[in-house]
């Protein structure tokens, strides 16, 4: 069973992604803003992180940077979630150190497909 | 304290000089200027130097800007070719035409306005273009009058008139060809024409055409040219605003034949002779107001354009130059008003005035600098006069307000008959209205020759002494008198002689044959006997020939000069800025009043309440006020409104004449613009013996009135334009603000709309997958509908946002290098599931492995749009994608075997919210924005184009072509 940290401020999205991940056998940790996300990521060292890019306090890319700056967070796979990504977003996100990204609206099969490609089987 | 002040002032001057010597802090910029032969605008002197109006202006500006001018001489055509190749930096004297604007950059400011004039052989009569049919016409190669819009051949072709054209290298050659009868007519510009017509055997026709604005031209795309243009525009603007500036002086000297500014003797600074006290005084009095006699020929007078001329004018100019004085003429004053001005403190100096006891009370006189003999003039048929004593029983005329009047009153008991001008007094003498006139010899000789008054003679000196003319300064300014006396001391005898000769040796007017004209080197202070002999001799020779022609000549001459005044004034008014217009109209009125010998000129405008209000007036305003009839009565105004001129005075004079209790005579002509009478131009004549207004005078006045009212109209239009421009700019700023607001709105709405939709789609998707428990068929079907509707709404929002972003120019472009075939395969794979649902084949044709540099995501979006359309509108068969390498560009084509599109529908295809009218339409879904957006992306982001080929029921092919390497656009950031 994989431990996953979801960093997402929108309650509905949090519910949706948690439901999908739990259905596929993950145990989900939750953070509702960027700072909490960075703190939990470094403390809890989950198996992977799903990170919403538009957060209320700090930019998703900044969250990425802070996690990657610490030894504890350097190797945790991070999958970014974006709403309507542009070509530039993709490049920026990969450059900032994320391992993959998924676009909203979330399609359960595509999300699981993308995540397992990056982190392996979930359960 | 005072001493300190001096030292400081000197220090500042020294610093200024140092700065001037050091230049503007950069090396002199070499400017290559094209020069050709077009006297008097630009020409070579015998020693090879380049001179003329344009070089004068250019060198003046070069001096201020620190340029060094290098002339490159050639023919007109050669110069323009060089300019086009960038081998010269500036070409002066280029007429602005749309054709030339394609080739060259031009200054915004116009240096001169000129037009074409047709000259003919004296035996050829040309009254209009029609008379040019089948004529042989000489033109200058490369001129605007020779080819292109507004050229003579083009104009004649419009009238279907055929003529033979011969081209020459210069206007001189054109005149020569006409003179030598090699051509029947020739075209030159007005400036060249009026300057040289006398030297050739040519006749000026009344045909004028193609007024053009002469400007400075630069090569296209040259950065130096752009710099020169900015500097020249700025300097020209400054020069044109100031009527005393070098620009107008250069016009006078180079174009209108005023004596050249190079006054005798080398330019030297005379300020060394001034004491510190005098220099200080000059600094405290930066402007010295000068009043002149506009008709004191040849001592001082105003030329046809109102310029100051005559012997005294040279002294004034010389002193301004050498001593740095600022003796400035006060405009629009008659002599009496100028003299009165000194008493009332509005005039400081009279440069040319005789000394009388009365004047000594309120004027200080300089040492004399002009000497003349006061003489008695009579008619040839009068008995011999020995001197002043013989005048006692005679009617003696004299110009009022002159020293001669004072002299007569002091020395003769008879009451003199007063005239407004010497000219009038001599005409009266010639016509028998008086028996003698006392005047100075030089002026009298000048007028006798000018007016061809052949029955007059110099009878005797009025007194044995010589009389003198002086500068006169207001009584409370002894300092200035000291300065002027010093300056007069510095004028050498040679200089004095040169100046006098220049003005006394007046040229003869055309009409008298040259061989019979004696070049009389009439010099001031030549003995009376010599003059008497000369005049008698001359009279006998010319009497028969001239008598007949005298009056005609005078009228012709007058008309010609009047026309010239109107033409010159109007070309000046054309170049004037709206803010300067009123002042220039004032000047024009003063000139016209001066020219016609009337006291004042004025302009009225008809107001809204049937009333007329005076808008401008110049001249003797005192007299005008005195003559003012109050409100003009209805009959008077009705005539003007009906477009008829009126003449008015207190005495009856002809049928059309209005009799009203006014002082003097008034002529008023309506000013009409576009068939509406907007006001009228009037002249007030206060001369007791004023000649009646002829029809010719009135028609010239009407011309003047029209010119003035159209200038005023232009002013109004330009002021409106300026106001509109300000309003437009404000509206633009508001629009820009709104635009920003719109973008902000779209950005926020985009997020706000999308977030709930994402939730709807996400949860519906999860439920549909059965992840939250099993659904029955009905539930599944209904939830499918929710899912698709939400998807549709999301697509619509996404498209709208894309379109708004592109329209607002706020779309970010991310060009990158990628393989074209890969993007195509990606798009095909993502559409395949939809195609398979309809059992359609999706095939890829040959796809070249082409590397491209453009926005990958946007290209993919276009391809997906094409593919999803193809799948939507095809029921059976296949969808096929092909790509081609077009070297600079690439092409992708998506073909289907679907319903096809009729030509009418093809036309509407790319409009927003248009979908094909077919039974497939409802099934097909879609936002209706797909092709509209695709075309926008293709054009504005990929910088390419799209195309459709289709036939009803035969399928369609949608094509996209775009550059393989997308060039960066201005304003775009370079992709990092």
Q: Please state the length of chain A.
A: 123
Residues B407/B429, Cβ–Cβ less than 8 Å: no
Count H helices and E strands in chain A, helices first: 5, 5
Q: Name chain A contacts of B857, Cβ cutoff 8 Å.
A: 86-87
Closest chain B C-alpha to A20 CA, distance in angstroms: 8
Out of A86, A105, A109, the one facing B812 most closely (by C-beta) is A86
Residue indicated by tokens 């003198």: B468
Judge whether residue B828 has pLDDT over 70: yes
Residues B40/B195, Cβ–Cβ less than 8 Å: yes
Longest dimension (CA), chain A: 34
**Is there a contact between A84 and B858 if contact means CB atoms under 8 Å apart?**
no
Q: For residues B390 and B461, give the distance between their C-alpha atoms in angstroms, rounded to a whole number.
A: 12
Given the DSSP bridges, would you call strands B878-886 and A78-83 parallel, antiparallel or unpaired?
Answer: unpaired
Residue indicated by tokens 């090699």: B182
Residues linked to residue B214 through DSSP beta bridges, in sequence order: B95, B112
Residue, of B672 and B845, whose pLDDT is higher: B845
Q: For residues B352 and B499, give the distance between their C-alpha atoms in angstroms, rounded to a whole number.
A: 14
B271-506+520-526 matches B29-255 in CATH topology: yes
Closest to B251 in 3D by CA, of B307, B319, B311, B327: B307
Name the range with the highest mean pLDDT among A84-88, B6-10, B128-132, B554-558. B128-132
Judge whether residue B14 has pLDDT over 50: no
Q: What single DSSP character describes residue A41?
A: H
Banded pLDDT at B925 (limits 50, 70, 90): low
Average pLDDT for B489-515: 58
Pick the CATH number of B812-963 from 3.30.565.10, 1.10.3720.10, 1.10.630.10, 3.40.50.1370: 3.30.565.10
Q: For residues B110 and B95, give the distance between their C-alpha atoms in angstroms, rounded to a whole number.
A: 9
Banded pLDDT at B510 (limits 50, 70, 90): very low
Residue indicated by tokens 């309440």: B609
Per-residue 3-state assignment (H helix, E strand, C coil) for B769-809: CCCCCCCCHHHHHHHHHHHHHHHHHHHHHHHHHHHHHHHCC
Could you read off the pLDDT of B244-289 as tens digits, one per residue?
A: 678 877 877 777 655 444 433 334 567 778 888 888 888 888 788 8
Residues B965/B889, Cβ–Cβ less than 8 Å: no
**Is there a contact between B765 and A107 if contact means CB atoms under 8 Å apart?**
yes
Closest chain B C-alpha to A11 CA, distance in angstroms: 10
Q: For residues B866 and B830, give the distance between their C-alpha atoms in angstroms, rounded to a whole number.
A: 13
∠ CA B643-B647-B648 to the nearest 5 degrees?
125
Count contacts between A and B (CB, < 8 Å).
64
Q: For residues B666 and B95, give the distance between their C-alpha atoms in angstroms, rounded to a whole number.
A: 42
Q: For residues B667 and B669, give the distance between their C-alpha atoms in angstroms, rounded to a whole number.
A: 7
Q: For residues B643 and B637, give the distance between their C-alpha atoms in angstroms, rounded to a whole number.
A: 10
Residues B632/B699, Cβ–Cβ less than 8 Å: no
Residues B106/B94, Cβ–Cβ less than 8 Å: yes
Calculated CA dihedral for residues B544, B549, B554, B558, nearest 10 degrees: -150
Give the fold, CATH level 3, of B29-255. D-Maltodextrin-Binding Protein; domain 2 (3.40.190)
3-state class (DSSP) for residue B704: helix
Average pLDDT for B467-489: 88
DSSP of B146-182: TSSTT-HHHHHHHTT---EEEEESSHHHHHHHHHTTS
Q: Name chain A contacts of B812, Cβ cutoff 8 Å.
A: 86, 88
Res B355: pLDDT = 82
Q: Is A105 on the interface with B (CB under 8 A)?
A: yes
Q: Name chain A contacts of B816, Cβ cutoff 8 Å.
A: 87, 91
Res B549: pLDDT = 55
Phi, psi torsion values for B258, nearest 5 degrees: -65, 155
Radius of gyration of chain A (CA): 13
Residues A2/A119, Cβ–Cβ less than 8 Å: yes
- Contact residues for B808 (Cβ-Cβ < 8 A; gap 6+): B739, B742, B743, B746
> Where does B179-236 show beta strands of DSSP type E?
185-189, 203-219
**Exposure on the CB side of residue B67, measured as CA atoms within 13 A:** 21
Assigned token pair, B803: 């379109």
∠ CA B641-B643-B645 to the nearest 5 degrees?
105
| Lowest-pLDDT choice from A37-46, B264-273, B619-628, B941-950 | B264-273
**Is there a contact between B814 and A86 if contact means CB atoms under 8 Å apart?**
yes
| Lowest-pLDDT choice from B103-107, B499-503, B765-769, B798-802 | B499-503
**Is there a contact between A86 and B857 if contact means CB atoms under 8 Å apart?**
yes
**CA distances for B961 relative to B52, B61, B378, B508, B831, angstroms:** 58, 53, 98, 78, 21
Banded pLDDT at B92 (limits 50, 70, 90): very high
Q: For residues B186 and B189, give the distance between their C-alpha atoms in angstroms, rounded to a whole number.
A: 10
Q: Which of B746, B760, B762, B826 is the best residue to mutate to test the A interface, defined by the most A CB atoms within 10 Å of its own CB?
A: B762
| Lowest-pLDDT choice from A3-7, A50-54, B53-57, B392-396 | B392-396
Res B681: pLDDT = 92
Element (H, E) at B415: none
Sheet holding B945-950, edge to edge: B841-844, B878-886, B889-896, B956-963, B945-950
Environment class of B770 (CB within 10 Å of its CB; exposed 0-12, middle 13-18, buried 19+): exposed
Q: For residues A27 and B329, give the distance between their C-alpha atoms in angstroms, rounded to a whole number.
A: 100
Could you read off the pLDDT of B205-225 as tens digits, one per residue?
A: 877 777 778 889 999 888 888
Closest to B894 in 3D by CA, of B970, B852, B840, B851: B840
Average pLDDT for B592-614: 82
Average pLDDT for B57-67: 86
Judge whether residue B763 has pLDDT over 90: yes
Sheet holding B665-673, edge to edge: B612-619, B600-606, B676-685, B665-673, B646-649, B658-659
Q: For residues B863 and A65, give the distance between their C-alpha atoms in angstroms, rounded to a whole number.
A: 35
What residue segments make up the domains of chain B, in order of their start? 29-255, 271-506+520-526, 562-708, 812-963
**Is there a contact between A10 and B755 if contact means CB atoms under 8 Å apart?**
yes
Q: For residues B554 and B347, give the distance between their C-alpha atoms in angstroms, rounded to a whole number.
A: 35
Q: What single DSSP character describes residue B38?
A: B
Radius of gyration of chain B (CA): 41
**Is there a contact between B771 and A23 if contact means CB atoms under 8 Å apart?**
yes
Res B509: pLDDT = 31
Judge whether residue B24 has pLDDT over 50: no
**Is there a contact between A84 and B798 if contact means CB atoms under 8 Å apart?**
yes
Residues linked to residue B129 through DSSP beta bridges, in sequence order: none
Residue, of B393 and B234, whose pLDDT is higher: B234
Residue indicated by tokens 């593919």: B867
Closest to B88 in 3D by CA, of B216, B214, B230, B218: B218
Phi, psi torsion values for A82, nearest 5 degrees: -125, 155
**CA distances for B607 relative to B642, B676, B717, B921, B932, angstroms:** 15, 13, 18, 67, 56
What residue segments make up the domains of chain A, in order of their start? 3-116
CB < 8 Å from B in window 49-78 of A: 54
**CA distances for B693 relative to B294, B546, B683, B700, angstroms:** 22, 25, 11, 11
Phi, psi torsion values for A29, nearest 5 degrees: -100, 145
Banded pLDDT at B72 (limits 50, 70, 90): very high
Name the range with the highest mean pLDDT among A67-81, B187-201, B908-922. A67-81
Banded pLDDT at B782 (limits 50, 70, 90): very high
Q: What is the CATH number of domain A3-116?
A: 3.40.50.2300
Res B521: pLDDT = 32
Banded pLDDT at B376 (limits 50, 70, 90): confident
Res B384: pLDDT = 64
Q: For residues A16 and B20, give the distance between their C-alpha atoms in angstroms, rounded to a whole number.
A: 80
Res B513: pLDDT = 30
Could you read off the pLDDT of B517-568 as tens digits, one per residue?
A: 333 333 333 344 445 555 555 555 555 445 555 556 666 667 777 777 777 7
| Lowest-pLDDT choice from B5-14, B109-118, B408-417, B490-499 | B5-14
The 10 Å Cβ neighbour count of residue B450 is 17
Q: What single DSSP character describes residue B597?
A: T
Banded pLDDT at B506 (limits 50, 70, 90): very low
Could you read off the pLDDT of B164-180 as tens digits, one per residue?
A: 999 998 888 999 999 99
Average pLDDT for B36-44: 85
Judge whether residue B845 has pLDDT over 80: yes
Average pLDDT for B873-882: 90
Residue indicated by tokens 């009218």: B917
Banded pLDDT at B411 (limits 50, 70, 90): confident
Assigned token pair, B79: 């110069």
Pick the CATH number of B562-708 from 3.40.190.10, 3.30.1360.120, 3.30.450.40, 3.30.420.40: 3.30.450.40
Res B727: pLDDT = 87
Out of A10, A13, A108, the one facing B771 most closely (by C-beta) is A108
Could you read off the pLDDT of B702-727 as tens digits, one per residue?
A: 888 888 888 888 788 888 888 888 88
Average pLDDT for B388-397: 80
Residues B58/B69, Cβ–Cβ less than 8 Å: yes
Average pLDDT for B480-494: 85
CA closest to A105 among chain B residues: B758
∠ CA B790-B795-B798 to the nearest 5 degrees?
125
Average pLDDT for B743-767: 83
- Contact residues for A50 (Cβ-Cβ < 8 A; gap 6+): A4, A5, A6, A7, A8, A17, A21, A78, A79, A81, A102, A115
Judge whether residue B432 has pLDDT over 80: yes
Query: What is chain A's pLDDT, residue by residue, as a tens digit (123 residues)?
Result: 899 999 999 999 999 999 999 999 999 999 999 999 999 999 999 999 999 988 888 888 889 999 999 999 999 999 999 876 555 667 778 888 889 888 888 889 989 999 999 988 877
Q: For residues B52 and B666, give the distance between their C-alpha atoms in angstroms, rounded to a whole number.
A: 42
Assigned token pair, B419: 């005239």
Average pLDDT, chain B: 80
Pick the CATH number of B271-506+520-526 from 3.40.190.10, 2.170.150.20, 3.30.160.620, 1.10.10.2160: 3.40.190.10
Judge whether residue B303 has pLDDT over 60: yes
CA closest to A85 among chain B residues: B857
């Amino acid at each position: 069973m994989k431990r996953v940290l979801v960093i997402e401020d929108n309650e509905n999205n949090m519910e949706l992604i948690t439901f999908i991940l739990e259905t596929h056998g993950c145990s989900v940790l939750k953070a509702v803003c960027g700072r909490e996300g960075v703190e939990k990521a470094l403390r809890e060292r989950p198996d992977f992180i799903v990170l919403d890019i538009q957060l209320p306090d700090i930019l998703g890319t900044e969250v990425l940077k802070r996690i990657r700056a610490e030894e504890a967070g350097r190797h945790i796979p991070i999958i970014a979630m974006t709403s309507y990504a542009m070509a530039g977003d993709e490049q920026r996100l990969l450059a900032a150190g994320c391992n993959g990204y998924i676009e909203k609206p979330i399609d359960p099969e595509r999300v699981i497909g993308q995540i397992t490609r990056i982190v392996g089987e979930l359960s | 304290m005072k001493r300190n002040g001096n030292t400081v002032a000197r220090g500042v001057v020294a610093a200024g000089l140092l700065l001037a010597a050091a230049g503007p802090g950069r090396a002199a910029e070499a400017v290559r200027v094209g020069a050709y032969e077009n006297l008097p605008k630009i020409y070579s002197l015998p020693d090879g130097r380049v001179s003329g109006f344009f070089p004068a202006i250019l060198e003046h500006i070069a001096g201020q800007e620190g340029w060094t001018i290098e002339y490159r001489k050639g023919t007109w055509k050669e110069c323009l070719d060089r300019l086009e190749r960038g081998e010269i930096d500036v070409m002066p004297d280029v007429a602005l035409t749309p054709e030339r604007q394609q080739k060259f950059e031009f200054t915004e400011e116009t240096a001169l306005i000129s037009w074409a004039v047709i000259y003919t052989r004296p035996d050829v009569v040309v009254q209009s273009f029609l008379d040019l049919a089948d004529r042989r016409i000489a033109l200058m190669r490369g001129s605007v009058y020779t080819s292109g819009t507004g050229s003579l051949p083009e104009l004649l072709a419009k009238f279907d008139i055929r003529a033979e054209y011969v081209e020459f290298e210069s206007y001189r050659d054109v005149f020569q060809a006409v003179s030598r009868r090699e051509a029947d007519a020739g075209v030159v510009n007005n400036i060249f024409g009026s300057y040289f017509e006398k030297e050739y055997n040519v006749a000026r026709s009344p045909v004028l055409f193609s007024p053009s604005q002469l400007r400075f031209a630069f090569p296209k795309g040259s950065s130096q040219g752009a710099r020169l243009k900015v500097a020249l525009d700025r300097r020209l603007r400054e020069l044109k605003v100031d009527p005393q500036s070098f620009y107008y002086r250069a016009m006078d000297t180079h174009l209108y034949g005023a004596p050249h500014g190079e006054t005798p003797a080398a330019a030297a600074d005379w300020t060394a002779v001034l004491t510190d006290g005098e220099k200080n005084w000059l600094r405290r009095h930066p402007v010295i107001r000068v009043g002149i006699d506009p008709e004191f020929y040849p001592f001082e007078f105003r030329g046809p354009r109102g310029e100051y001329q005559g012997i005294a004018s040279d002294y004034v100019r010389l002193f301004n130059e050498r001593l740095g004085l600022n003796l400035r003429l006060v405009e629009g004053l008659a002599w009496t008003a100028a003299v009165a001005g000194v008493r009332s403190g509005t005039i400081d100096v009279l440069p040319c005035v005789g000394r009388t006891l009365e004047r000594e009370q309120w004027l200080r006189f300089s040492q004399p600098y002009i000497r003349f003999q006061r003489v008695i003039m009579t008619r040839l048929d009068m008995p011999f006069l020995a001197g002043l004593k013989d005048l006692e029983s005679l009617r003696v005329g004299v110009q009022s307000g002159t020293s001669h009047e004072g002299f007569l009153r002091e020395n003769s008991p008879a009451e003199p008959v007063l005239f407004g001008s010497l000219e009038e007094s001599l005409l009266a003498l010639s016509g028998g209205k008086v028996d003698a006139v006392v005047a100075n010899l030089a002026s009298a000789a000048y007028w006798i020759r000018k007016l061809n008054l052949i029955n007059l003679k110099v009878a005797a000196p009025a007194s044995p002494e010589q009389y003198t003319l002086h500068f006169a300064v207001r009584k409370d300014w002894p300092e200035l008198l000291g300065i002027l006396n010093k300056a007069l001391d510095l004028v050498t005898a040679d200089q004095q002689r040169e100046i006098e000769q220049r003005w006394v040796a007046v040229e003869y007017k055309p009409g008298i044959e040259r061989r019979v004209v004696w070049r009389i080197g009439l010099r001031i202070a030549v003995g009376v006997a010599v003059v008497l002999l000369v005049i008698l001799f001359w009279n006998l020779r010319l009497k028969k020939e001239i008598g007949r022609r005298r009056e005609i000549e005078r009228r012709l001459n007058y008309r010609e000069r009047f026309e010239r005044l109107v033409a010159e004034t109007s070309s000046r008014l054309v170049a004037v800025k709206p803010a300067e217009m009123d002042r220039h109209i004032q000047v024009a009125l003063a000139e016209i009043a001066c020219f016609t010998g009337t006291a004042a000129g004025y302009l009225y405008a008809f107001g809204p309440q049937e009333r007329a209000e005076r808008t401008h007036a110049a001249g003797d305003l005192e007299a005008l006020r005195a003559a003012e009839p109050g409100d003009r009565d209805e009959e008077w105004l009705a005539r003007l409104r009906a477009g008829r001129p009126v003449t008015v005075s207190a005495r009856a004079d002809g049928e059309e004449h209005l009799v009203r209790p006014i002082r003097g005579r008034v002529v008023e002509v309506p000013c009409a613009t576009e068939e509406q009478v907007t006001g009228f131009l009037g002249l007030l004549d206060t001369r007791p013996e004023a000649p009646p207004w002829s029809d010719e005078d009135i028609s010239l006045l009407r011309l003047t009135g029209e010119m003035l009212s159209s200038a005023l109209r232009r002013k109004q239009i330009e002021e409106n334009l300026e106001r509109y421009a300000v309003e437009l700019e404000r509206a633009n700023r508001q629009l820009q603000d709104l635009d920003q607001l719109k973008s902000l709105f779209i950005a926020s709405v985009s997020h706000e709309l999308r977030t709930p939709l994402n939730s709807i789609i996400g949860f519906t998707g999860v439920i549909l997958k059965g992840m939250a428990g099993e659904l029955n068929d009905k539930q599944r079907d209904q939830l499918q509908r929710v899912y698709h509707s939400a998807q549709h709404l999301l697509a619509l929002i996404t498209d709208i946002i894309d379109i708004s972003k592109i329209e607002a120019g706020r779309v970010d472009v991310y060009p990158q290098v990628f393989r074209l075939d890969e993007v195509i395969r990606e798009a095909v794979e993502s559409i395949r599931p939809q195609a398979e649902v309809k059992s359609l084949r999706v095939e890829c044709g040959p796809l070249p492995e082409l590397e491209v540099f453009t926005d990958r995501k946007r290209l993919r979006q276009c391809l997906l749009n094409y593919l999803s359309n193809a799948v939507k509108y095809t029921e059976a068969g296949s969808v096929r994608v092909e790509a081609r390498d077009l070297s600079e560009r690439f092409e992708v084509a998506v073909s289907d075997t679907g319903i096809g599109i009729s030509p009418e529908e093809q036309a509407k295809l790319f409009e927003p919210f248009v979908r094909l009218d077919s039974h497939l339409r409802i099934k097909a879904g879609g936002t209706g924005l797909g092709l509209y957006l695709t075309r926008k992306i293709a054009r504005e982001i990929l910088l390419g184009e799209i195309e459709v080929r289709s036939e009803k029921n035969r399928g369609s092919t949608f094509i996209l072509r775009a550059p393989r390497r997308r060039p960066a656009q201005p304003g775009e950031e370079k992709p990092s």
